[in-house]
Amino acid sequence: MAALSAGALAGCAPPAAEPLGGAPAPRSALPSSELAPGYRQIVFDWEFEQGDSRMRGEGVVRLAPPDSARLDLFLGGGFGGGAAVLIGDDLRAPVVEAARRLIPPAPMLWGALGRLAIPAAPDTAVRVDGSTTRADIGAAPVWRAEFHGSRLARLERIDDGRVRDFVNRRQREVTYESFSPRSKLTLRIKRDEPAMGFDAKIWTL
């Protein structure tokens, strides 16, 4: 495979979850994070680290509101890659293990794209600290969402008091990190632009 190297992520235990900070707020304070109207295409470079291996290449996400996305990851040098179609909470990806390990689970993949789409749960605690809104949703696992203004900035899955995996979103970089096994996928965005529409064939794998 292209761009394999040693010395990637060292193994470590999942970190303990910090207390939810900020002042208590009603559930209505949680911003909406639905996809904006109109088709979009996001082009990026990516890098994946797991154990002693590292892969990198280019990729594209095609978004069709309200709840459809296709992700394609191409290995540097054109030697394969991975793909996934996400419609609602239904994630379809190839059965090839080498490709599947590149693809985050559906809630985290939506989180990477800026949409909060987690399993419904009656338990929600919302806290506000200036322009930052945080919420713990559900139990076992707890989904912790953090918004900066109206923008989803971070999503964590917390189980037994520890962060099991998370998405962190900066303006031009998105990171998904898992602790079982330890792996990290980084997307560095090059272009985020409107699209005229997509062929219906892209929604099948």
Sorted by where each starts, the structural domains of the chain and their CATH numbers stand as 23-196 (2.50.20.10)
Q: Please, where are the H alpha helices in the chain? A: 97-100, 106-112
Rg (CA), the chain: 17
Asked if 118 and 137 count as a contact pair (C-beta separation under 8 A), the reply is yes
Name the pTM for this structure: 0.90
In 3-state terms, the chain is what percent helix, strand and coil (to 5)? 10, 50, 40
Determine the 3-state secondary structure of 89 from DSSP: coil
Each residue's pLDDT expressed in tens, for the chain with a length of 205 residues: 333 333 334 457 899 999 999 999 999 999 999 998 999 999 999 999 998 889 999 999 999 999 999 999 998 876 677 889 999 999 998 766 666 678 899 999 999 999 999 987 889 999 999 999 999 999 889 999 999 999 999 999 999 999 999 999 998 999 999 998 899 999 999 999 999 999 999 999 8
Residues in the chain: 205
